[in-house]
Amino acid sequence: MRNVDLKTARSTPGQENITARLVRHLDARLRDFGPGGPEVLEADQNAGVVTARFPGHDTARVLGRLEGEYGVSAGQENGLAVFRLSPDVPFEDLDYVWGCLFDLLS
């Protein structure tokens, strides 16, 4: 099982452009679900944060299963999923997160 930490942001000065690209990538992957998938509420390229909800699903339960079954940790604030991206997160890990969510939400 992979260990993907999207709970803790680790900013690196001079790497803001990479973080912004990661945000755009995760935003696009999550929106790719279409109906029944995550709803992206914010994709803040400056902060490196993607905030989403899972219509029809309990956020805490989805995030708990995501961590317990797939090794992906993400934050939760006000009932929303919060994915904090850092320049050291490989793009492949975001594709893995998408696949895990696809399994959980399908």
Q: Write down the pLDDT at residue 13.
A: 82
Report pLDDT digits (tens) over 15-43: 899 999 999 999 999 999 888 899 999 99
**Is beta strand 49-53 parallel, antiparallel or unpaired with respect to 80-84?**
antiparallel
- Domain ranges (residues) in the chain: 4-105
3 state SS of 77 = strand
Closest CA to 5 of 97, 78, 77: 97
CATH topology of domain 4-105: Aspartate Aminotransferase, domain 1 (3.90.1150)
- Measured CA to CA, the distance from residue 16 to residue 25 in angstroms comes to 14
Report pLDDT digits (tens) over 52-72: 999 999 999 999 999 999 999
**Does 93 score more than 80 pLDDT?**
yes
Mean pLDDT of the chain: 94
